[in-house]
Amino acid sequence: MFQPGERLLLKLSGEVLGRTSTGESGGIVPETLKSICLQIKKLSQYRWTIVVGGGNFFRGGNASWCHRSTADRIGMLATGMNGLALHEMLEHLGVPSCLLSCGVCSGIGEAYDPRVARFALSNEKVVICVGGSGIGHVTTDTTSVLRACEIDCSVILKGSSVEGVYDADPKYHKDARFLSCITYTQAIQNRWKVMDFTAFTLAQEFQKKICVFSILSPQSLLGLIDGTLRHTLISCG
């Protein structure tokens, strides 16, 4: 499914960094952080970019007590904390990495520039992007597709606590059917909210494939790459 040397973008949900195998903890769980970074180290034959969320610290969309633009800026700062943790762990494990930031996170690592990111990837460094898109009202899902377009990543790997897409919410519908392959048109028309619709539309326009999988599954990245992990592939069809 993937070729050595291929540029892959991992959209890493912030929530998963705050979860253990037995449940939620909040903040950053070192064991979870290390597990993800070790898998990236084992998959060093690929060129990795990570766009990380900040939901383990703050979710802007859930903050009804302040203006959305302010809430999004707080959320962007949360991605900076996660990015610093990823950068530190990767370096600790001997994996060269580059931390790039924008918006309110400027000053954490280097300023984001797609040319800098592409150069780092060509030198086999893991690129970590924080600060979202740098503006409010844009999710890190959409940012991940935008970064994939800017730095020529062929596939977006959406790693969260969800193993893929169902035709109904499996929490409330026992007969919900797992979908291994869907199109962007189907995702938008059926309002499946595994990613926001702006991300779907952008990915469709620039023909970027998205793999949705649970990164909380043991050795999930390794399983996704070798084709043994259950996931949903979203494409133009």
Q: 141 and 200 in contact (C-beta within 8 Å)?
A: no
Q: How confident is the model at residue 183 (pLDDT cuts 50, 70, 90)?
A: very high
pLDDT tens-digit readout, 120-155: 999 999 999 999 999 988 999 999 999 999 999 999
Q: Give me the mean pLDDT over the 207-226 stretch.
A: 95
Task: Give the model's pLDDT for residue 217.
Answer: 87
Task: Give the model's pLDDT for residue 20.
Answer: 80
Is pLDDT of 22 > 90? no
Q: Give me the mean pLDDT over the 31-56 stretch.
A: 97
**Helix pair 140-150, 114-122: axis angle to 10 deg:** 70
Task: Give the model's pLDDT for residue 150.
Answer: 98
Task: Give the model's pLDDT for residue 62.
Answer: 73
Q: Where are the domains of the chain?
A: 7-161+209-230
Q: Give me the mean pLDDT over the 36-62 stretch.
A: 93
Q: Which fold, 7-161+209-230?
A: Carbamate kinase (3.40.1160)
Percent of the chain with pLDDT over 90: 83
pLDDT tens-digit readout, 67-124: 988 999 999 999 999 999 999 999 999 999 999 999 999 999 999 999 999 999 999 9
> Which residues in 79-117 are b (16+ Cβ under 10 Å) and which e?
bbbbbbbbbebbeeeebebbbbbbbbbeebbeebeeeeb
Q: 164 and 223 in contact (C-beta within 8 Å)?
A: no
Q: How confident is the model at residue 40 (pLDDT cuts 50, 70, 90)?
A: very high
Q: Is 210 helix (H, G, I), strand (E, B) or coil?
A: strand
Q: Which residues contact 119 (CB under 8 A, 6 or more apart)?
A: none
Q: Is 74 helix (H, G, I), strand (E, B) or coil?
A: helix
